[in-house]
Amino acid sequence: MRRALVAYACLAAGCNVLWGVTRLDFRETTGQGGSGGTSLSGVPSAAEGSGGCVPVPAIPTDWLGPMALYSGSGKPMDCDAGWTQTADGGFGFEQDPTPCACGCKLPPEPCGGPSALIYYTDPGCSGQATNQNVSTTCALVATPNMLTSIHVDGVPLGMCKAEQKPPPAASWSTYGRVCAHAPGTCLYPPPGYNHPSCIMHAGTVPCPDGPYATVRTLFGKLTDTRTCAPCSCGSIKGMDCASSTVAFYSDSNCKMSLNKSVPADGNCHDVNIMMANAVRVTPPPTAGSCDPSGGAIMSGQITSEDPTTVCCTD
C-alpha cells in the first residue's frame, strides 16, 4: 500500500512512472479537481452507464482524490476502466478464540513389534538357541529346520504421534479497496464500490472539514506472530498387545499358513513345527487412543498494519 501511495505522491511531484500499459501524470489542481489537492490526470474516464454519476466535491489540500472505496465481507472486484487501484487491504480481521489445538494419532500398527523370538532345538526352550527379531512384516525363519520350542517376548506397544494444529491463517473480516480517477465534477464509480466519493491520506489522520466527513481506516496487511505451545501425547490406552501372536508359513511370502501360531506372551511354548520358512507377528485389532496435552497459544498476536485514512461523503 505504501508503494502505491509513494508512487502516487511521486507522480504528483512530476515523476514519470509507467503503470501497466497506461501512462499516468499527476498534477496539482485548483480547478474542478479540488482546491490545491493532488489529483490524477491523463486517465481515460469511465464509460457512462457503469453506475450513476456521482458529484465530486473539491479535493482538500494534502489529500489524494477523487477516490472510490469498496468495503464489504467479500473480496472486491477490480477497478473499472479509467480507475486505478491505489490501496488494498481490510478494516478488521477474524480471530478464532481457540486457534491452537493438539491431537494424537495412533501408529499404523500399535502392536507392530519388533519382538525378540528365540528358537530352540529341544523341548522346554533348551538346547541350541537361535535369536530373531520379528514384527508384522513377513520375514524368513532364521532356522527353517525343525522348530521344537519357542520363546517370544511380549510385543511392545507403539507410541502415538502428536499432531500440532496451528491457528488458522488470519484473514480480513471486512475487505477494502480504493480506486483513483482523474479529476472531474461528476464521475461514474466502479460497479460494486459502495462509497463512490472519497479522498485518501497515508497514515491515521482526522478527516478534513467539509463534505468528506466519514472516516475509515484501511489497513494494508496483517501480521500474525502467534505461536503454539509444544504438543505431546500420553501412552496408548485401551490396547493390549499381549494378545498378539506369532504365525508361521510354509512359503517365503507369508501366504501359505501352517496353521501354527504362538502367543507373544514371554513364555516358552513347545511347538514341533516343520518346514516353516516365514514368520510374522499378528497383532490384535487396532483400538485404543491417546490423550493429548499442551498446544495452547504461548505468545503472539494478530496486528493490522500500514494504515491509510479514507474519508468519504457517506
Helix (H), strand (E), coil (C) string for the chain: CHHHHHHHHHHHCCCCEEECCEEEEEEECCCCCCCCCEEEECCCCCCCCCCCCEECCCCCCCCEEEEEEEEECCCCCCCCCCCEEEEEEEEEEECCCCCCEEEEECCCCCCCCCEEEEEEEECCCEEEEEEEEECCCCEECCCCCCEEEEEECCCCCCCCEEEEECCCCCEEEEEEEEEECCCCCEECCCCCCCEEEEEEEEECCCCCCCCCCEEEEEEEEEEECCEECCEEECCCECCCHHHCEEEEECCCCCCCEEEEEEECCCCEEEEEECCCCEEEEECCCCCCECCEEECCEEECCEEEEEEEEEEECC
Residue 225 C-alpha cell reads as: 506472530
Q: Where in the chain is the domain with CATH 2.60.20.10?
A: 102-163+230-293
Task: Give the per-residue pLDDT at 36.
Answer: 38
Task: Give the per-residue pLDDT at 229.
Answer: 87
Per-residue model confidence as pLDDT tens digits over 39-64: 333 333 333 334 578 999 999 999 99
Per-residue model confidence as pLDDT tens digits over 162-208: 988 888 788 899 999 999 999 888 999 999 999 999 999 999 999 99
- Backbone φ and ψ for 8, nearest 5 degrees, come out as -60, -50
Task: Give the per-residue pLDDT at 112.
Answer: 66
Task: Give the per-residue pLDDT at 289.
Answer: 87
**305 has a pLDDT exceeding 80:** yes
In this predicted model, which residue has the larger pLDDT, 31 or 279? 279
Q: What is the pLDDT confidence band of residue 149, given thresholds at 50, 70 and 90?
A: confident
State pTM to two decimals. Answer: 0.57
Task: Give the per-residue pLDDT at 22.
Answer: 26
The CATH code of domain 102-163+230-293 reads 2.60.20.10
CB environment 239-251: b (16+ within 10 A), e (fewer): bebeebbbbbbbe
**280 has a pLDDT exceeding 70:** yes
Q: For the chain, what is the largest distance between any 2 Cα atoms, rounded to a whole number of angstroms?
A: 111
Per-residue model confidence as pLDDT tens digits over 125-147: 998 888 888 888 899 988 766 78
**Average pLDDT across the chain, whole number:** 79
Within 8 A by CB and 6+ apart from 283, the residues are 109, 110, 111, 112, 136, 155, 241, 244
Residues facing 140 on adjacent strands: 278
Q: What is the mean pLDDT of residues 104-126?
A: 84
Q: What is the pLDDT confidence band of residue 214, given thresholds at 50, 70 and 90?
A: very high
Task: Give the per-residue pLDDT at 31.
Answer: 29
Q: How far apart are the first and last CA of the chain?
A: 23
**291 has a pLDDT exceeding 70:** yes
Distance between CA 15 and CA 25 in Å, rounded? Answer: 8
Q: What is the pLDDT confidence band of residue 20, given thresholds at 50, 70 and 90?
A: very low
Task: Give the per-residue pLDDT at 177.
Answer: 96
Q: What is the pLDDT confidence band of residue 71, given thresholds at 50, 70 and 90?
A: very high
